[in-house]
């Protein structure tokens, strides 16, 4: 959940100073947009993957600090709970053999992580929600020892005036429960794709990412279960939105302005609009004094942006020479099921967004309200969802992917100069997955239907197949 901070208790003066610095840094950012200060380079890709530490019985293993001491790699960092970690891929320019490089680089890091975990008698698992997770695992005792996490929890509860989170998910089954803290978020692990974009194309790419959230969440679904109940195809979506929810506190009562949100509209003129929304609608959660850092690094503005979890989030970064750049973080995809699946998901996303961003009529042909409705329908029903696409075309997502979106993704990868054989291989994984309907969520549900509701057996079978290196459409039931 972002960068560490030095302390977690704040005064009203801290909030006042932080607001003043946010306004100062927004002025700087506005000047950068007006003066076209951002680097014009786009097509740089990277990703983050959240993962689980699991013991030999398939249960969550609260070992992340010991694991991090073992691995000692800056690309591997803690997450909210003591049984989660985050793995980061170094950015690469999209083109040539970039997909193979991503695969090889992440495979090497993955193997090192598995070796470090093995020394602790554990394994690393890539899955959206761990089936064996119990509600009792999500207590404050399972929070990683980081000031940032304590502060976010304290501030959200203060905004809610101490009222617990209320979770209601209606899917195949229905789940209702209360949670006294933010630890429900620890149940959700994702694959977050980053893309650096040129400033003159940033609006088109951001809007394309919004429109593509529905097909991406359906094609990659891997989170059907929570606490033994079969819910949505991608249960992470409602779980995260309701698990870090300030409604009832001082936030707007408009669901579009929840801390975890799909948003309320497309970008119109520049991504500056989203940072202006941050200032207008989202009270600071972490009013830390970062004034020792230069204001031109926008430290307060970037920290604040990191506490607003849009499913598609604008990010600010800096080149080695100090020039600022713009990135889009696409957060809808879950972790897993296998490394080939993950790289195939990346190929699908990078190909689709580069092709769809060229569609100058996207906003006119697909109103934002339909993009948002498509997203939640796809998260709930996966490949079997019916959505409305460009020009009001209504189609099942599975059909739309096979007939229109996968060819579009291929064109996008061609535009990027990705090696044809690599594009064929990775998009071939998506074609086989969508054609068979065998997503990670589908595999989990089919396994339970055949073998019964033994979540340990399901988890161990999942781990065995994940470690085989085969994509999920090839997994046996």
Structure confidence by residue, pLDDT tens digits, 290-321: 999 999 999 999 999 999 999 999 999 999 99
pLDDT at 249: 38
Listed by start position, the domains of the chain span 12-471
Q: Closest Cα to residue 5, out of 230, 224, 287, 220?
A: 287
Give the confidence band of 401 by pLDDT, cuts at 50, 70, 90.
Answer: very high
Identify any residues that bridge with 178 across adjacent strands, giving them in sequence order. 166
pLDDT at 377 over 50: yes
pLDDT at 251: 41
% the chain with pLDDT above 90: 94
pLDDT at 248: 44
pLDDT at 255 over 90: no
pLDDT at 250: 39
Question: Which residue's structure tokens are 């609006």?
Answer: 203
Task: Say which residue, 5 or 404, is predicted with more confidence.
Answer: 404
Give all strands (DSSP E) within 171-292, no chain letters.
174-179, 190-197, 225-226, 229-230, 260-261
Give the confidence band of 252 by pLDDT, cuts at 50, 70, 90.
Answer: very low
Q: At what angle do helices 339-356 and 98-118 cross, to 10 degrees?
A: 150
pLDDT at 9: 84
Give the confidence band of 257 by pLDDT, cuts at 50, 70, 90.
Answer: confident
- pTM check: above 0.85: yes
Q: 394 in helix, strand or coil?
A: strand
28-57 mean pLDDT: 97
Q: What is the mean pLDDT of the chain?
A: 95
Contacts (Cβ under 8 Å, ≥6 apart) of 53: 60, 61, 62, 63, 64, 67, 83, 84, 85, 117, 120, 122, 123, 124, 125
Look up the CATH architecture of domain 12-471.
2-Layer Sandwich (3.30)
pLDDT at 234 over 50: yes
Q: Is 427 left (phi over 0), alpha (psi -120 to 50) or beta?
A: alpha
Cβ–Cβ < 8 Å for 462, 130: no
Cβ–Cβ < 8 Å for 323, 38: yes
% the chain with pLDDT above 70: 97
pLDDT in tens, 5-42: 777 789 999 999 999 999 999 999 999 999 999 999 99
pLDDT in tens, 263-280: 999 999 999 999 999 999
Give the confidence band of 127 by pLDDT, cuts at 50, 70, 90.
Answer: very high
Question: Which residue's structure tokens are 């097909």?
Answer: 215
Structure tokens at 317: 């970064």
pLDDT at 115: 97
């Amino acid at each position: 959940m972002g960068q560490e901070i030095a302390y977690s208790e704040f005064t009203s003066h801290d909030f006042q100073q932080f607001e003043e610095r946010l306004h100062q840094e927004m002025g700087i950012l506005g000047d950068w947009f007006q003066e076209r200060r951002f680097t014009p380079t786009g097509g740089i890709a990277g990703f983050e993957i959240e993962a689980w530490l699991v013991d030999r019985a398939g249960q969550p293993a609260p070992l992340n600090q010991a694991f991090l001491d073992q691995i000692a790699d800056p690309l591997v960092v803690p997450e909210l709970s003591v049984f989660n970690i985050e793995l980061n891929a170094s950015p690469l320019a999209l083109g040539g053999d970039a997909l193979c490089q991503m695969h090889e680089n992440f495979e090497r890091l993955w193997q090192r992580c598995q070796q470090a975990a093995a020394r602790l008698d554990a394994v690393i698992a890539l899955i959206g929600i761990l089936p064996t997770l119990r509600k009792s695992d999500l207590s404050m005792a399972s929070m990683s020892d980081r000031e940032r996490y304590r502060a976010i929890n304290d501030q959200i509860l203060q905004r809610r005036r101490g009222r617990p989170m209320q979770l209601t998910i209606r899917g195949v089954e229905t789940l209702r429960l209360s949670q006294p803290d933010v630890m429900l978020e620890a149940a959700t692990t994702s694959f977050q794709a980053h893309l650096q974009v040129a400033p003159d194309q940033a609006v088109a790419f951001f809007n394309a990412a919004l429109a593509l959230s529905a097909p991406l969440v359906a094609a990659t679904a891997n989170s059907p279960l929570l606490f033994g109940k079969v819910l949505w195809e991608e249960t992470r979506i409602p779980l995260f939105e309701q698990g870090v929810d300030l409604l009832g506190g001082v936030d707007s009562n408009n669901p579009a302005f929840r801390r975890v949100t799909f948003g309320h509209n497309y970008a119109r003129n520049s991504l500056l609009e989203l940072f202006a929304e941050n200032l207008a609608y989202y009270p600071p959660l972490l009013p830390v004094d970062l004034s020792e850092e230069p204001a031109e690094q926008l430290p307060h503005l970037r920290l604040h942006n990191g506490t607003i979890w849009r499913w598609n989030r604008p990010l600010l970064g800096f080149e080695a020479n100090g020039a600022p750049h713009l990135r889009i973080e696409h957060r809808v995809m879950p972790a897993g099921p296998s490394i080939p699946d993950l790289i195939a998901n990346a190929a699908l996303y990078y190909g689709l967004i580069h092709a769809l961003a060229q569609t100058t009529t996207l906003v006119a042909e697909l109103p934002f309200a339909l993009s948002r409705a498509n997203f939640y329908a796809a998260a709930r029903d996966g490949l079997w969802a019916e959505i409305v696409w460009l020009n009001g075309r209504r189609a099942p997502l599975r059909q739309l992917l096979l007939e229109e979106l996968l060819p579009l993704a291929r064109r996008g990868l061609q535009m990027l100069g990705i090696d044809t054989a690599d594009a064929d291989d990775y998009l071939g994984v998506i074609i086989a997955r969508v054609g068979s309907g065998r997503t990670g969520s589908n595999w989990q549900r089919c396994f339970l239907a055949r073998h019964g509701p033994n979540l340990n057996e399901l988890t161990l079978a999942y781990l065995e197949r994940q470690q085989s290196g085969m994509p999920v459409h090839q997994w046996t039931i």
